[in-house]
A and B are shown apart, each in its own frame.
Chain A
Amino acid sequence: MRLYDVEISSRLLLGTAQYPSPLVLTDAIAASGCGVITVSLRRETANGGGGNGFWPLLQATGAHILPNTAGCHSAREAITTAQMAREVFGTNWIKLEVIGNADTLQPDPFALVEAARVLCADGFAVFPYTTEDLIVAERLLDAGCRVLMPWGAPIGSGRGLRHVDALTAMRGHFNGVPLIIDAGIGAPSQAAQAMEMGFDAVLLNTAVAKAGDPVAMAQAFGQAVAAGRLAFEAGLMPPRDMAVPSTPVLGMADLGLGGVR
């Protein structure tokens, strides 16, 4: 999979927040086989708190770093945060989040497009967290985005793909554009579903971090994403309205015992 001209080995992208310990986090990253991990920026205390101890651990994983603008509620806020992230993390990749509502954490599509336009023009490789709205997606591509990240369900909800029809339409409409389902995935089966639908990758965090055994769950997600992708490439059978016997009927014995055929 190529994202902004970078070859990524795994179609699972993993968030790094909410894990019970740094060791569980790094073990989960390794077990998932993910190729990209997301990070953020937060206020640092004067004596150097925990942030800078955390960063070398993630660098050592070898995964590509995707900083986010989580928590930003305006285009300006997101733009400044992206600029700060580019310097600290040494990458022009940015997961662009501009939140429109504090309760639903729904993207603000207007501010998102505005920020994407500024950041793309400034040389960023923008990964916009968006909805399944096709027109917003068009505008994001017009702004210079070469990857789109529609939500599956609200962030942290674990509800899976809430609007399957709309996501199917989006996949069909943007053939050739890398589409990553970002947010709302709660179970490996939901990740596999997204991959079977032809989405290029899945980004999740809470489902692994808050699992009973995050390392095992990370491995389960890695396998589900790989299986879903393989199934998509293999070509799923078309659904049928009626039952069709899989065992041949021709040549079946007539035992004269009253079976109705």
Chain B
Amino acid sequence: MRIDLNGIPTEVAAANLGDALMALGYGSTALATALNGVFIPAAGRATTLLHEGDRVEVLAPMQGG
């Protein structure tokens, strides 16, 4: 299925968010995720199913003011 990952159309085979991140190469633990604008805690990624057209945001620590 095709999802929108950080604003980029991305093809994923995994059924849930946790597996999708793993398959896409996100290995770090210092990540936060949101699905369609809703925060998904790390513990909930494996049980969060993905659907065609979902908007996934994957964020990491960055400098800020």
Whether the Cβ atoms of B26 and A44 lie closer than 8 Å is: yes
Quick one: which of A44, A80, A156 contacts B58, CB cutoff 8 A? A44
Q: Mark A17-30, 1 if CB is under 8 A from B, else 0.
A: 11100000100000
Whether the Cβ atoms of B32 and A85 lie closer than 8 Å is: yes
* Alpha-carbon gap, A49 to B41, bound state (A): 21
Number of residues in A with C-beta < 8 Å to the partner? 39
- Chain A residues with CB under 8 Å of B27's CB are 48
A55 interfacial contact with B, CB 8 Å: yes
* Alpha-carbon gap, A118 to B33, bound state (A): 20
Asked whether A84 and B39 contact (CB < 8 A) given A17-B65, A44-B31, A52-B30, the answer is yes
Q: Mark A206-222, 1 if CB is under 8 A from B, else 0.
A: 10000000000000000
Which of chain A's residues has its CB closest to B57's CB? A43
Nearest chain B CB to A49 CB, angstrom units: 7
* Alpha-carbon gap, A85 to B60, bound state (A): 9
Binding site of A, secondary structure by majority: helix, strand, loop or mixed? mixed
A231 interfacial contact with B, CB 8 Å: no
Asked whether A54 and B65 contact (CB < 8 A) given A41-B32, A48-B26, A87-B41, the answer is no
- Chain A residues with CB under 8 Å of B46's CB are none
Q: Mark A57-76, 1 if CB is under 8 A from B, else 0.
A: 01000000001101000001
* Alpha-carbon gap, A46 to B44, bound state (A): 20
- Chain A residues with CB under 8 Å of B33's CB are 84
The winner among A16, A52, A155 for most chain B CB atoms within 10 A is A52
Whether the Cβ atoms of A70 and B26 lie closer than 8 Å is: no
Q: Mark B38-56, 1 if CB is under 8 A from A, else 0.
A: 1101100000000000000
A89 interfacial contact with B, CB 8 Å: yes
Whether the Cβ atoms of B64 and A39 lie closer than 8 Å is: yes
A32 interfacial contact with B, CB 8 Å: no
Asked whether A40 and B64 contact (CB < 8 A) given A46-B25, A88-B59, the answer is yes
- Chain B residues with CB under 8 Å of A101's CB are none
Asked whether A38 and B64 contact (CB < 8 A) given A44-B31, A52-B28, A88-B31, the answer is yes
Whether the Cβ atoms of B61 and A43 lie closer than 8 Å is: no
Whether the Cβ atoms of B60 and A88 lie closer than 8 Å is: yes
20 inter-chain pairs at a CB distance below 8 angstroms, sorted by A residue, are A16-B64, A19-B63, A25-B63, A43-B59, A43-B60, A45-B6, A46-B24, A48-B26, A52-B30, A54-B61, A55-B30, A55-B61, A70-B65, A83-B39, A87-B39, A87-B41, A87-B42, A88-B59, A89-B61, A205-B65
Sort A-B residue pairs by CB-CB distance and give the 7 closest, nearest first.
Answer: A40-B64, A51-B60, A15-B65, A84-B32, A205-B65, A44-B60, A83-B39
